Amino acid sequence: MQVRTKIRELSLGTIATVVGYEKAYGGYVGKLIAVGLTPGKKFVVLDSLSLDNRVVILLQEKIIQLYKPEADAICVEEVKEEPEM
């Protein structure tokens, strides 16, 4: 069973990795790839669906704003930090 998580389901400050894409319409996947949101890339959630329906993430020292349909096209997985010994 594969778990599909959306960016907007993550808490602020969460580190996550892109694992794939949902069925998307309107060329969203092409835009996501163009801005660097490819499978395996890690990012940090800075703001999740503010008043203007955007999700804001930090990807490789770049702040990226995604509209809800773009954010919903990305399947992500939360990165679990290993406890320090």
Domain count, the chain: 1
* Domain extent at residue 73: 7-78
**Rounded Cα distance, 15 and 32, in Å:** 18
Q: 19 vs 84, which has greater pLDDT?
A: 19
We report the CATH number of the domain holding residue 53 as 2.30.30.90
pLDDT digits over 7-18, tens only? Answer: 888 989 999 999
Q: State the pLDDT confidence band at 82, using cuts at 50, 70 and 90.
A: low
pLDDT digits over 22-74, tens only? Answer: 876 667 888 899 999 999 999 999 988 766 788 999 999 999 999 888 998 99
Q: Does some domain include residue 83?
A: no
In the chain, which residue ranges form alpha helices assigned H by DSSP? 28-34, 68-72
Q: State the pLDDT confidence band at 1, using cuts at 50, 70 and 90.
A: very low
Q: Does some domain include residue 31?
A: yes
Whether this model's pTM surpasses 0.85 = no
CA angle at 41 for the pair 10 and 30, rounded to the nearest 5°? 95
Q: Does some domain include residue 27?
A: yes
**Rounded Cα distance, 73 and 82, in Å:** 28
Q: Does some domain include residue 84?
A: no
Q: Does some domain include residue 18?
A: yes
Question: Residue 8's pLDDT is what?
Answer: 84
Concatenating the DSSP letter of every residue in 73-84 gives TEEEEEPPPPPP
Furthest-apart CA atoms within the chain: distance in Å: 47
